[in-house]
Amino acid sequence: MREGASSSTAGRRETTGPVGVNGHSRRLARPSTNEMYDGFISYSRSADEEFAPKIQDGLEKLTKRWNQRRALKIFQDIDDLPASDDLPATLLAELQASTTLVFLASPLAAGSKWCNAELEHWRDTGRPLVIILTDGTLVFDRKNGLESSTAAPPAFMNLRAEPVYVDMSEERQRFEALNDGGRRSFSYQNDSEFRAKLTKVAAAVHTNKNPDNPVAPRDIDSQDKRAHDSLRRLRNSVASILVLLTVLAGISALVAVVQRQDAEQGRRIALSKQLAVQSIDTSDEQLDLGSLLAIEAYRTEQTPDAFGSWITAAYRSADVARLLHGHERPLRGVAFNENGSLMASTGLGGMVQLWDGLSFEPIGDPLRPSVADPENPPSLRSVVFSPNEPLIAVAGSDDRVYFWDVSDTANIIERPFLSSDLHDGRSIRSIAFSADGTVLASAGGFKSDAACPQEGSSPIVLSNLESGISETLGSIDGCVTALAFSPTAPTLASAQRDGSVAIWNTRTRGDQVRIADAHGSQTSDESPTLPASAVAFSPSGTRLASAGWDGVVKVWDVATPIDPISSFRGHDGIIRSVAFSPDGTLIASGDRNHQVMLWNSQTGIQDRTLSASHSAEVRSVAFHPSGAFLASAGADQTIAIWNIDDQERRSLSAPLHGGKVRAVLFDDQHDAIITGGAGVTSLPDGGRGPGIVWADVPVTGAAAVSAVPDELAALALDPATGTLASGDARGALTLWDSATRLQQSRVANMAELGCRDFISEQSPIRSLAFHPSSSMLAIGFQNGAIMLTDAVVGDGIDTQCTDARSAVWDLTFSPDGERLVASSSGGRLLIWDIERKELTRLDVTTEEVLSVDFDPNGELLAVGGSDGDIIILDAESMTVIGEPLRGHNEGVQDLAFHPHDPLLASASSDGSVILWNVDTRVRLADELVDHGDQVFAVAWILEGAGLASGGDGSALIWDLQPATLRTMVCEAANRNLSEFEWNAYVGSDRAYRRSCDEYPPGIGAT
């Protein structure tokens, strides 16, 4: 599209009539202010919530004179929308009070009913329109208008004249890439292309404001320059006057303004840190709340603590597909139907909620027994689906079993309840369908909703659903806590309060095999009785899993249940529920201490610890028939849907490649992650060999791989020439062109460069570093030699060597290039003054030094030891600052300072990567342990937007961008803060806002 011109006489009037906003007809209210707006920015929050303020800021400041608050008065709803009980009417009133509509066009805005309503109203006024394209396409055709455009909303379809149009899609992409979703460093002042396009928009708005005095973009540039020159002259004059006349009152006023600004920023920082701490404290058990607090911590102020809490929340949500809300009382049961298309949940609130088994969206309103007292509904403690028909059965505390026909989820029918005198009016705690669905077993024996009688027996009742006849299978001393039918035989298992487990033959009635002390002990009066609380059959019906108050999951052979086949120990307390996976390979168990665990059913070894937990006891677990998900129902009124399939697991990390990766760095000139090690390349015989891997970022295709003869242990990139140096286990140095990724040269015997007295033949190279401003290369050898040479890449022939007296695991130049620091023997650092050619040995730890790194400003030096400690030194005085950073259990193999923020990443042999706040000396987030084995190297990528790490079995890339973190935590939380939570944590003095725009406001909030 070419740029056009459009103008209209500005006026203010009250307009009435229907305007479609979210399907409602509204009457426009009068503007909330007596002033007109020069422009109104309309946009999709999902697309441009962070970019729109940059446009508003630029339009208001371009050509602003020193005595003006702003050059143009631009309305942008996040900052300018006044409080109102009628939000849509208020917003359209502000639209009515604006001269020019500035529409940020994108596919999301095109599909927004809200944006389209604003455009339809504006189109009817006939006032000027300016379009800024931020994403998608706009193609104007005089015959068909914008019908072929992806960013054109329906309101544009009738346009036949071109409006003013500016394409800022590249600027928006640059803004997101360079500013991590909205840092303040991107603006019209420091981005010339953004400024040039913004002047075109400003010129159009100024012209529309005063049609009699048209403004061209060049006028904006010249006016802005004059305004800035005038402001500069004014400042100089005022400064001179203040100096000459010592106007203390003026100085005091300026100081007061600065103090107010500092005070407000201080409050924001304090609130951000407070929310960050609360997020980490709560996200382990209340992941949804902790995740939302992390978002608000970062939005309040982008502190390292807030960043860390966000990473923690995202990392803890790795296994969580979704958290489901809707129950107002503790949950007691969750179950899937045979094909996994439906899920049902129930609990103490007397309701059953049906869910879509794939999207996990709620289906319809909660189901409640029609015959129950609505003021005092029964507790519903167990829910099961019939295996052969679309029927839900639910056990009630009122001695009834309730049924619903769910064959048509749009019209769910309640069937007559089942009640038997055989239960003697006692609460039913558990029910189970037989494999053919014709028999329902029920049991309980609890006198009330919670109490099991000390004396007497409880029946297990079998009800034939076809004949309507109920019979007693057998009686149990005390109470029955759980039932499970075998999927392959007429066999029923029951768990008892006395600690026993029984296996019943339902055909012969009464025949049972009783495991008297499965989970409890009654050997003496002093021995406590520990109830059995859960039973579940394997899919084959040959194994039975049981769990109890002893905190142990046991697996029994159904044919000969004399001794357990295996016992799984890991829970710290009472286990409430147990379930087999559909393929029988996993067992899930939920306990009173809020945790869900997964076990290998064959070995009894814990499969993995799930990344989060409930905030109250877990009362029921159920696998999805696909085996991809596990549902757990907790007393915290929440259902957690867990990703069991690793392919579905949400993760901050993504694999780059396998192999033993010893070195990692980022080539910012070519946006590539470069790794080196062993087993990273494919060999003709099917094996794996040593090499270098270049992976372009973003990772969209296969990486480039260069094979080498021997295992690589070190990489370094020359910032001056782009040359890559690699060192291997036989002491050879190879140079590569990082642009073509081809080998340039190879030095097999480093002694050829000199220093023959220091370098033994084939001594492995363990570390490399290039000088920051020249092509001088530092090389550290396993035999303790350090070589400093410019004979490899540069034009010089100067080569110097020294002896570090032990393996040189790491070395680094200071940012100013004046010093080289290397690891040395006995916990010492070797400090080499480049200009003076002086060596200093400094004791810093009693352990071996494994890694060193300067911060980007050259003010701090981090030192990683073999004991897992990280020591921070003042880089100028080389004195230790404060206590060591402690968090790793084994040696710190690598360190990397963030390029801009006071953050430090450390990689350890204990298998973890840890992020640290260097200013406060605290760990920012949970340990990142996706490698599962030793981690040897770590590097920041894309100006700190992520990490790359290499370990004993893989290289990983970690996406730490705010947009990624927000998506992860919002998908898991599946909600927004309630009004109560907002007031309690963020504060009632701050206006409520949704943390996750894709979900509705929380309870009580609007």
7 pLDDT above the threshold of 50: no
Per the CB < 8 A criterion, the answer to whether 745 and 724 are in contact is no
Q: For residue range 527-560, what is the model confidence (pLDDT) as tens digits?
A: 566 889 999 999 999 999 999 999 999 999 999 8
* pLDDT given at position 666: 96
The DSSP output letter for 753 is G
pLDDT class of 961 with cuts at 50, 70, 90: very high
Largest CA distance in the chain: 110
Closest CA to 609 of 658, 565, 642, 653: 642
378-382, 569-573, 872-876, range with greatest mean pLDDT: 872-876
CA distance 744 to 737: 6
Taking residues 468-475, report their average pLDDT.
Answer: 89
288: Cβ contacts below 8 Å, ≥ 6 apart: 323, 325, 638, 972, 973, 974, 975
> Where in 712-827 does DSSP place strands (E)?
712-717, 723-728, 733-737, 742-747, 765-770, 777-781, 785-789, 799-803, 811-813, 819-823
* Confidence band for 237, pLDDT divided at 50, 70 and 90: low
How do residues 870-903 score in pLDDT, each as one tens digit? 999 999 999 999 999 999 999 999 999 999 999 9
Mean pLDDT across the stretch 654-674?
93
Comparing 3-12, 40-49, 273-282, 569-578, the range with the smallest average pLDDT is: 3-12
With beta carbons less than 8 A apart as the criterion, state whether 319 and 610 touch: yes
Site of tokens 């011109």? 5
Q: What is the per-residue pLDDT for 227?
A: 53
- Mean pLDDT lowest among 54-58, 176-180, 582-586, 946-950: 176-180
How many Cα atoms are found within 13 Å in the side-chain-facing hemisphere of 552?
15
Q: For residues 470 and 420, is the Cβ–Cβ distance under 8 A? A: yes
pLDDT score, position 745 = 92
Please give the mean pLDDT across all residues of the chain: 85
CA 228 to chain centroid:
43
The SS3 of residue 843 is: strand
- The span from the CA of 573 to the CA of 550, in Å, is 7
Contact 50, 41 (CB under 8 A): no
Give yes or no for residue 474 having a pLDDT over 70: yes
Residue 293 · residue 985 · CB < 8 Å: yes
**pLDDT, tens digit, 9 for 90 and up, residues 687-736:** 789 999 999 998 877 788 999 999 999 999 998 889 999 999 999 999 99
Dihedral of CA 258/261/264/269: which sign?
Answer: negative
Share of the chain above pLDDT 90, in %: 50
Range 87-113 average pLDDT: 82
797: number of Cβ within 10 Å? 10
Span of 501-515, 525-539, 558-572 with lowest mean pLDDT: 525-539
pTM: 0.68
Q: What sign does the dihedral 662-664-670-672 (CA atoms) show?
A: positive
DSSP secondary structure string, 142-169? TTTBTTT-SS--GGGTT--S--EEEE-H
Q: What is the 3-state secondary structure (H, E, C) of 589-653?
A: EEECCCCEEEEECCCCCEEEECCCCCCCCEEEEEECCCCCEEEEEECCCCEEEEECCCCCCCCCE
Q: So what's the pLDDT on residue 63?
A: 73
Which residues sit opposite 946 in a β-bridge? 941, 959
- Rounded Cα distance, 496 and 484, in Å: 12
For residue 240, pLDDT beyond 60: no
554 and 568 in contact (C-beta within 8 Å)? yes
Dihedral angle, C-alpha 677, 683, 688, 694, nearest 10 °:
40
CA 707 to chain centre: 36
Residue 79 DSSP code? H
Report how far apart, in Å, the C-alpha atoms of 576 and of each of 17, 495, 550, 610, 617 are. 60, 11, 11, 17, 8
**Residue holding tokens 């107002």?**
328
Per-residue pLDDT, 23? 28
Distance (Å, rounded) from C-alpha 395 to C-alpha 401? 5
> For 942, phi and psi rounded to 5 degrees?
50, 55
- pLDDT tens-digit readout, 801-845: 988 888 999 999 999 999 999 998 788 999 999 888 888 999 998
The C-alpha atoms of residue 367 and residue 52 are separated, in whole angstroms, by 45
Instruction: Please tell me the distance from the alpha carbon of residue 369 to that of residue 376, in angstroms, as a whole number.
Output: 12
3-class secondary structure, 497: coil
Q: What is the mean predicted confidence (pLDDT) over 228-239?
A: 51
Query: Poorest-confidence range of 217-221, 330-334, 408-412, 993-997?
Result: 217-221
49 near 195, Cβ under 8 Å?
A: no
Beta-bridged to residue 707, according to DSSP, are 691
Alpha-carbon torsion (979, 982, 983, 989), positive or negative: negative
Band (88; pLDDT cuts 50, 70, 90): low
The yes-or-no verdict on residue 143 having pLDDT over 70 is no
Q: What is the dihedral of CA 860, 861, 865, 869, to 10 degrees?
A: 0
For 846, other C-beta atoms within 10 Å of its C-beta total 11
Q: Which two tokens stand for residue 715?
A: 């990489």
Alpha-carbon distance of 668 to 670, in angstroms, equals: 5
Neighbouring CB atoms inside 10 A of 404's CB total 18
Q: Choose between 214 and 360: higher pLDDT.
A: 360
Give residue 889's identity as a one-letter amino acid code. N
Give the sheet arrangement for strand 913-917, strand by strand.
892-897, 903-908, 913-917, 922-923
Q: Could you tell me which of 932, 926, 893 has the C-alpha nearest to residue 911?
A: 932
The sign of the torsion formed by the CA atoms of 758, 761, 763, 764 equals positive
Instruction: Over range 157-170, report the average pLDDT.
Output: 79
When pLDDT is cut at 50, 70 and 90, the band that residue 20 belongs to is very low
Q: What is the pLDDT of residues 425-452, one digit of tens each?
A: 788 989 999 999 999 999 988 766 566 7
Least confident span in 130-134, 319-323, 711-715, 822-826: 822-826
